[in-house]
Structure 1
Amino acid sequence: MPQSIEETASLLAGGDYVADRSLATVLFLALKMGRPLFLEGEAGVGKTEIAKVLAKALDRPLIRLQCYEGLDVSSALYEWNYAAQMIEIRLREASGDTDRNAMRAGIFSDDFLIRRPILQALEGEPGRAPVLLIDELDRTDEAFEAFLLEVLSDNQVTIPEIGTIRAGEPPIVVITTNRTREIHDALKRRCLYHWVDYPSAERELEILHRKAPGANAALAKELVAFVQRLRSADLFKAPGVAETIDWANALTELNALALDPAKVSDTLGVLLKYQDDIARMEKGEGRAILDEVKRDLALAG
């Protein structure tokens, strides 16, 4: 475990994650205090990547619970292997073993329990507790949030047929949300909070150097400047860092050395994901942004 904010920043940098000091600080505190980390921000700004890098850097298993509408306890925590239980019942009946109490104890045992991500995380290996990533929590409903309260506050869950299962060593919990809806305060209070914003131009350029090393320096500067201006436009969905990396890799595959109107128009589908946004750029706004970028870089250079 890192012993300082600087060590935390270095740990992330070792996994090619370029973090500002505020993020390194809250991550250090979450690790030091054993508290879940609640990361909120627009899609594509690198929230999920933090958990992945953390698991790799600390040599911990990564257990990911991908949230979706309708997610329930059986998919997130556990369920019983009903088919195997039915076979066990039939075998006991065929052998003449009809003791109901013994049969109940036998079929609701560990042998028939299917562990889902949260239970797997709570039963992690001592000394190597996993990183539990609860990704895009805002896709679930309030009932699932309420279920998580016991897990986040006490590092335990209750299974009616077995009892309470408590973590020997609490997992490192990272929760992400794209803020498509508000998460209840009761859950947030159990976590340390951080808003993951779009990076500055300097930090985004550093990210490109690490994640898209094939892009030449001039092209990287131009596309970062273009994306930074694009985010200030009134778009349905502004491009995230993930789209910037994809765009740099796509232009590199096309052997581009610099941006030009044709290449921008041809590759807008890599950067923007909604037709209305693409159409708006193709009507002339994209050309205007590119002209501004070329002019400003020429003056700066």
Structure 2
Amino acid sequence: MPVRRLPAGLGGPPALASALRDAQYIASDDLATATFLALSLQKPLLLEGAPGVGKTEGAKALASIMGRELVRLQCYEGIDASAAMYEWNFPRQMLAIRQAGDDYVNLYSDEFLIARPILQALEQPSDRVLLIDEIDRADHEFEAFLLEFLSDFTLSIPERGTMRAVEPPIVVLTSNRTRELHEALRRRCVYHWIDYPDPALEASIVMMRASTVAHDTAHKVVAAVGQLREQPLAKPPGVAETVEWAEAATLLHQQGATWPRAFARAIGVVLKDQDDLEFIAPQVDALLERVAS
């Protein structure tokens, strides 16, 4: 199996974790190891976990430390190959035909080709990181289409033949696990499950991302979010919501709101579903009193 030579300073999981931290992303030892193996073995990295645990942010940070452009393919129900690979600029082709008259026009030249994320990654694999975000939202047919690309990093364009990357591109896939992915797709990847961070790690993330938040405030908001995640909510708060809640509560406190009322008044920053807000409203004061004491 080929091994990719990594940039200087990224020669192992600890060095990779340190570089990610410098890019404002705190990776666990297991995540740093999985990422290092995916990079070194030239395999896609599949990150699964609940929404808001940092899967997409991890891909962005990876692109940053690798010095590459992040190309993002956002998956959705009904996505087709043209949205992921390429499509021909039909209006421009028709215009070229009318302007050419009797002259020959190559309708399948580069000027008429619209490159989508997968083709972009194939064209410049050494300069880009391909993020296939929320692959679980796509259907099984689209997932099957991805297998050809992830197997040998080739793309078939009927009008032009098969395109092959000069080197395997860096590919990160994310999934919220709303459905099970096909086993054949999993086999092609280095897999890692990202869980909600432990309280100490999440507090560190808050203080890194929100420099105005005090140490004590960060730990209190993390404790409150931890209790919210134990409730039967439709949309449990992710790490991004934890950071935003800490920032919002700190801002209200600076405007004169006392603790824990500052947290309560900013509850719409951390819970973004009306049913969740109604469910938690009768117990929010008691919850915040416990973490603020």
TM-score above 0.5: yes
Q: Give the deviation of 1:70 after TM superposition.
A: 1.6
Residues 75-102 of structure 1 deviation map (CA, whole Å, 9 limit, x = unaligned): 111001111211222234x2x34xxxx6
Letter in 2 for 1:247: W
Name the CA distance, whole Å, in 2 between partners of 1:57 and 1:239.
28
The answer to whether the Cα contact below 8 Å between 1:129 and 1:170 also exists between their aligned partners in 2 is no
What value does the CA root-mean-square deviation take over the aligned residues?
A: 1.7
Matches within 5 A, 1:20-99: 20-92=28-100, 94=101, 96-97=102-103
Structure 1: gaps of 5 or more residues: 296-301
Deviations 1:144-164 (A, max 9, x none): 111111111101110111110
**How far is 1:37 from its partner?**
0.5
1:158-177 to 2 correspondences below 5 Å:
158-177=156-175
Asked if residue 225 in structure 1 is aligned to residue 233 in structure 2, the reply is no
Runs of 5+ in structure 2 lacking a partner? Answer: 1-5
Equivalent residue letter for 1:280: F
1:16 to 24, 41, 54: 24
Q: Is the 8 A contact 1:124 1:169 kept in 2?
A: no
TM-score between the two structures when normalised by the length of structure 1: 0.90
| 2:51–2:176 contact (8 Å) kept in structure 1 | yes
| Matched residue, 2:111 | 111
Within the alignment, does 1:243 sit opposite 2:241 as a pair?
yes
Distance in 1 between the 2:219 and 2:55 partners?
A: 24
Q: What is the rounded CA distance, in whole Å, between the counterparts of 2:160 and 2:232 in structure 1?
A: 54
Q: What is the identity, as a one-letter code, of the residue corresponding to 1:26? A: A
Normalising by the residue count of structure 2, what TM-score does the alignment of the two structures yield?
A: 0.92
SS of the counterpart of 1:198? coil
3-state SS of paired residue (1:153):
helix
Deviation beyond 4 Å, 4+ runs, structure 1: 256-259
User: Share of identical aligned residues, percent?
Assistant: 51
**Cα distance between partner residues in 1 of 2:186 and 2:27:** 22
Query: In the TM superposition, what is the alpha-carbon distance from 1:57 to its structure 2 partner?
Result: 0.9
CA spacing shift, 1:183–1:259, aligned 2, 3 Å: farther
Deviation sequence 1:188-229 (CA, Å, 0-9, x none): 111111111000000001101100110112211211111112
d(CA) in 1 for partners of 2:96 and 2:290? 72
Aligned-partner Cα distance in 1 for 2:40–2:18: 16
Contact 2:264 2:288 survives alignment (8 Å): no
Name the CA distance, whole Å, in 1 between partners of 2:207 and 2:122.
Answer: 37
Q: Which residue of 2 aligns with 1:298?
A: none
SS in 2 for 1:169: coil
In the alignment, what sits opposite 2:121? 121
The one-letter amino acid of 1:107's match is L
Pairwise CA distance, 1:258: 8.9
Cα distance between partner residues in 2 of 1:45 and 1:258: 29
